[in-house]
Amino acid sequence: MDVVLRHHVSTYGAGTLPLVFAHGFGTDQQAWNYVAPAFAADYRVVLFDLVGAGRSDKAAYDFTRYRTLDGYVTDLLNLLRELNLPKVVYVGHSVSGMIGVLAAIRAPELFERLVLLAASPCYVNDGDYIGGFEPDDLEELLGLLDRDYLNWSSAMVPSIVGSDMRPELLDEVLNSFQQVAPAVARQFARATFLSDYRSELAKLGVPALVVQCAHDSVAPSVVGQYLHAHLPGSTLDILDTTGHYPHLNAPVATIAALERYLAPVKAAASA
């Protein structure tokens, strides 16, 4: 199937430099509705759905291919090559942040810069490393998800999004979570939360901005500090906001962080 249709790709904007937005677990490209349009005047905005999410081709989901994040990494590289884009600025939320890191390690020639929004290389506490979850607690959490995904999402989403998210946005996120097929959500959750890519970080040769929330139960701010310390040539910006979805409950701050970081790229493109 055509890659564009497979991922329900949508593009808009007056610029030539591509700005690719990738959503995280439980959401789809609509999660960028409050951020992406701010860049339409200067960039070519590219949005897509991960296979299994949003309006992607659900029949394309393969339980072997997507057992780890590697299947999503391959999808991203195939998509960028199919669109025949110049080097892209890639903005990945949560797990898509690490998908972008792995893709840029594999094919750095496709990427100008990365923006990692509330991303994490490992969600499990391990010695001095604080990932956010104790191993037993995470297994219990995934066990609840396995047994009843819809009730799990109803219980978990409010705590994940943060207390300052407007009720209508909370409903938007919850509805997005509940549109994902439970079997797909179960596998994607394990591929995400049980992953450990700390050993890969030093291999990244593409500049990256790490944007972390000051209060995030999924990816604590110390995770952002860890990423910054282990990604060569990275920049760290911690937003004074709560929750795991700053592009929804703090879009103005998120836009400002991206604009600050991309100012040299924008200037070079218009020179």
Q: Which of 75, 216, 228, 247 is catalytic?
A: 216
Contact between 233 and 207 (Cβ < 8 Å): yes
Tokens of 11: 């593009």
- Euclidean distance between CA atoms 42 and 270, whole angstroms: 9
Contact between 85 and 16 (Cβ < 8 Å): no
Is residue 244 part of the annotated active site? The answer reads yes
Is residue 163 part of the annotated active site? The answer reads no
Determine the residue type at 124: V
DSSP 8-state secondary structure symbol assigned to residue 55: T
Is residue 62 part of the annotated active site? The answer reads no
SS3 69: coil
Pairing of strands 208-215, 111-117: parallel
Q: Which of 94, 96, 176, 195 is catalytic?
A: 94
E strand or H helix at 215:
strand 208-215
Q: Which of 7, 93, 244, 247 is catalytic?
A: 244
Catalytic residue positions? 94, 216, 244
